[in-house]
Chains A and B, each alone.
Chain A
């Protein structure tokens, strides 16, 4: 098995913008690590540097204790010498070889193909549920089956490290969920270290032990799925994991673990937790999910001690298990939820129409305070 250590890895293409800037990362042995970010953030380049398909311009890269790239010493180990399995986004199956030939290739090039290895190929195919399709050609398989073959091929030589480059992005939603479960199950069975690149945060949450969110060639935050999802540390991460309301403001009064925040451009003020102990006067982003703000009919009973705002509905759309709406509160637009429990399926009959007044109930301490000048890498959780 194999840990992965990146120290000061930097990579630029053709002298243009840096694809990766000064990346420091340690991935533990046996960990399922997901690199999450939008396209162009440098996550695939990072993965290709680990694979050896790109040579970093500077920095060192260690697999386990073994240095595989060190710009100072001019050391660069070719990809075929690193003993890594990789699954590509477009499957990269060789069309001129059968499924079985594709899967046996990594064993064949290591010039060992005896009975035991044939068994190994069969096991790999069984693991992905394709042992009956060994003599087909890739073109005769469906997309999901092709990606399973690619997975079997990457696994067959029992590498200590597996790399996944958005392997599920070419598939439909249902298949993606099924294969996602398979990927995690196989990882847990075999215990390899996995580095997985994706732009889909649902995929990251389902698969990862830890997630690294990347932005413009830098790691913005590293943490467990729940840390990333519930307590993002920067505006960028909050936006990426789906915080609909990210409002600029300033800390009015900091009292111990709590703070009152005044929003810019309105008279609105929120009271919320301040675990980082940000001082009075600090500019902040206030992040709130729409799910944490419930709209209530104006005549609806209000719970005691709750933070309640009055606003006007701008527009409203049906979203299956709830309505999502935008409500104007003293000139500030907020994304909010209209729960079916409260409003019923025919919400407009109870006054959920543009121009009507509603009350907004905000969960206590739900709002996150994000420092405007947050550090580039906020490391939380196990590795911190």
Chain B
């Protein structure tokens, strides 16, 4: 056979040619200047992802094998590992974290499931109040709860204790929030909100037709719930349990504020000590080991979660609506209402009331001379005014940047191959596996090793970058769900209409995802404003947020001032919330006005021309 005569002679592809083809494949474009340009643009983008999310993790692991802090000259060594495994303090902290995570998660899950069932499947009149309350609790910073419960039930000046002492003449404090009970209360309240928001969709998506089929087979409501509903809720419940355990292992603020007297130390607070934020000397290698082992453990949990969830992770809206049959709850109506009211009181009204009351007191334990003096005291401090400014700037800018980044990553990763997409997605989720303290440390070590970032040290921008990294997993979750709800054919239709990928992104995808973008912006801004770990650990002089100053006031014993400042923080959050609502409203109105204007014009046109049609 003389097949070689049929072959055309082609020059052997050089590396540049290969690169061009790969880039063209990557961006699904013709091999052209534009495709190359796009590749050139994609490279720094991937670089940014690497620097922000991957490099810190690398430095963290490296730190476990170095004799000194990673950015200082030192030797490679394993010595820290043997120390770590024989350190009783470390084991105790790990054990405490595990205990807290398990107890709070399961308690919260039971309450959240009950609330979700009540709000979605019963006809209780209170059910409509549950969702907004949970949202409120979810976005309220943890530090707010920790401090509010201190005011409410600390053994010395707690409002409940003082009230009981006054009313019944009880000699000893009746409630003590300092210690395990307080920690559990605060954690469970916060976690109920997280779990509720995560599972309520699954409860809502339960198909009434399945219930009805079960009733017709002779099963009562309870049996139907256990035999039919619970199995279809299982993926959501297990995955929220794992998420709760991971979050529980990372818990920080409540321990810092409530764990002091009983000397309760968990992984995050131990890390704070190891890094020199506490009493003892800094031990970077120990901190690295603890963090790396923790990250590895959480990674295993995540893989487990992915396995459990499989591909059923997202409950999509089917667009097919059947009327949900609501359970009337006849006999136990009053009891259930009472329990729900009690929970709502405990989760919101009581802490808020306690803070408001404390902020009006001249000093804790003094029940006369109520005034707004604490507010004027606190607001007249220059550092507070500065902190409000810093918090506002950080919240708004970081929120906007992180949402833009998240939408861009989600969008760009759609154009990549399956593996690269998974890699990019995974990179942005890394911070989720690291406690805020670890993330902050990893970030400062990693970036100090890069000259461009080292010069940022001590400035507000390093804090901002670190906050972007910590808020990224949350933001990309919002971006992913927003973008995946937009049917791909909507983008394809734009491409077929002649719009390029960029134009399609702005005019179709972003326009449709705008409400999610705005909501995500607001929620990230709130998370950023309430974050205590990042500004506390990066210790940038002059960069104090409201959360840091509140914490400082609280640790110095200025309870009333701290309460007043927290009320300011709450007002600030509400202002942000109103701003986001206003933006959304303006956005919708602009769209609607546009519609209206055209309608008017069409009507005018119709009346001025012959009614031919």
Chain A residues near B (Cβ < 8 Å): 14, 51-53, 55, 74-80, 83-86, 88-90, 92-96, 98, 100, 105-106, 109-110, 131-132, 134-135, 137, 150, 153-154, 157, 163
Contact = CB atoms under 8 A, between A and B. Distances in A.
B489 A80 contact: no
Contacts of A110: 498
Contact of A85 (B24, B496, B591): B496
Contacts of A51: 492, 496
Interface string B171-189: 0000000000000000000
Contact of B511 (A85, A96, A132, A163): A96
Interface stretch (B27-35, B236-244, B275-283): B27-35
Given A76-B24, A78-B30, A92 B598 contact: no
Nearest to B602: A135
Interface in B308-348: none
Nearest to A79: B495
B79 interface: no
Contacts of B494: 94, 105, 109
Report whether over half of chain B's contact residues are helix, strand or loop; otherwise say mixed: helix
A89 B503 CA distance: 23
Contact of A80 (B24, B490, B498): B498
B512 interface: yes
A111 to B, nearest CB: 10
Interface of B: 20-21, 24, 28-31, 418, 487, 489-490, 492-501, 503, 508, 511-512, 591, 595, 598-599, 602, 613
Given A75-B30, A90-B489, A96-B512, A80 B496 contact: yes
Contact of B496 (A55, A74, A77, A84): A84
7 nearest A-B pairs in the assembled complex, by CB-CB distance = A106-B497, A92-B489, A92-B493, A86-B496, A79-B495, A109-B499, A135-B599
A56 B511 CA distance: 31
Given A85-B496, A96-B511, A77 B30 contact: yes
A74 B500 contact: no
B602 A83 contact: no
B602 A106 contact: no
Contacts of B24: 74, 76
12 contacts: A74-B30, A80-B495, A80-B496, A80-B498, A80-B499, A85-B496, A86-B493, A88-B489, A89-B489, A110-B498, A132-B613, A163-B496
Contacts, number: 93
Contacts of A106: 497-498
B599 to A, nearest CB: 5
B493 A88 contact: yes
A255 B350 CA distance: 99
A94 B496 contact: no
Given A76-B29, A105-B494, A131-B613, 13 more contacts: A53-B495, A74-B20, A74-B24, A79-B496, A84-B496, A85-B496, A86-B496, A94-B493, A94-B508, A109-B497, A109-B499, A110-B498, A153-B497
B10 to A, nearest CB: 9
A67 to B, nearest CB: 11
Contact of B492 (A77, A88, A134, A157): A88
B23 to A, nearest CB: 11
Contact of B512 (A85, A94, A105, A131): A94
Given A80-B497, A135-B595, A74 B31 contact: yes
Given A14-B418, A94-B508, A100 B498 contact: no
Contact of B500 (A80, A83, A84, A157): A80
Report whether over half of chain A's contact residues are helix, strand or loop; otherwise say mixed: loop
Given A76-B30, A88-B492, A100 B598 contact: yes
A74 B21 contact: yes
Contacts of B512: 94-96
A92 B495 contact: no
A83 B493 CA distance: 12
Given A96-B512, A109-B499, A53 B602 contact: no
Given A51-B496, A154-B496, A76 B28 contact: yes
Nearest to A129: B613
Nearest to A48: B492
Nearest to B491: A92
Nearest to B492: A53
A109 B499 CA distance: 6
Contacts of B493: 86, 88, 92-94, 150, 153
Contacts of A89: 489
B585 to A, nearest CB: 16
Contacts of B501: 78
Most central of B498, B499, B511 by chain A CB within 10 Å: B498
Contact of A78 (B29, B489, B497): B29
A137 B592 CA distance: 10
B503 A109 contact: yes
B545 to A, nearest CB: 37
A71 to B, nearest CB: 11
A84 B493 CA distance: 11
Nearest to A159: B496
A85 B511 CA distance: 23
Contacts of B599: 135
Given A55-B28, A74-B21, A95-B512, A79 B490 contact: no
Contacts of A52: 495
Contacts of A80: 495-500
Given A75-B30, A80-B496, A106-B498, A94 B418 contact: no
Contacts of B497: 80, 105-106, 109, 153, 157
A157 B498 contact: yes
Most central of B29, B31, B496, B503 by chain A CB within 10 Å: B496
A209 B503 CA distance: 37
Contact of B490 (A83, A94, A132): A94
A98 B595 contact: yes
Contact of A79 (B31, B492, B503, B508): B492
Contacts of A134: 598, 602
Given A76-B24, A96-B512, A109-B497, A135 B598 contact: yes
Given A53-B492, A78-B29, A90 B487 contact: yes
Contacts of B498: 80, 83, 106, 109-110, 157
Contact of A92 (B21, B492, B511, B591): B492
A32 to B, nearest CB: 19
Contacts of B598: 98, 100, 134-135
A94 B510 CA distance: 12
Contacts of A93: 493
Nearest to A163: B496
A90 B30 CA distance: 29
Contacts of A79: 492, 495-496
A153 B591 CA distance: 21
A303 to B, nearest CB: 55
A109 B500 CA distance: 9
A92 B501 CA distance: 17
A230 B508 CA distance: 46
B605 to A, nearest CB: 10
A98 B418 CA distance: 35
Nearest to B495: A79
Contacts of A154: 496
A51 B494 CA distance: 12
A150 B489 CA distance: 12
A92 B595 contact: no
B612 to A, nearest CB: 10
Nearest to B596: A135
Contacts of A76: 24, 28-30
Contacts of A109: 494, 497-499, 503
B496 to A, nearest CB: 4
A84 B499 CA distance: 12
A83 B497 CA distance: 8
Nearest to B20: A74
B311 to A, nearest CB: 14
Contacts of B418: 14
B507 to A, nearest CB: 8
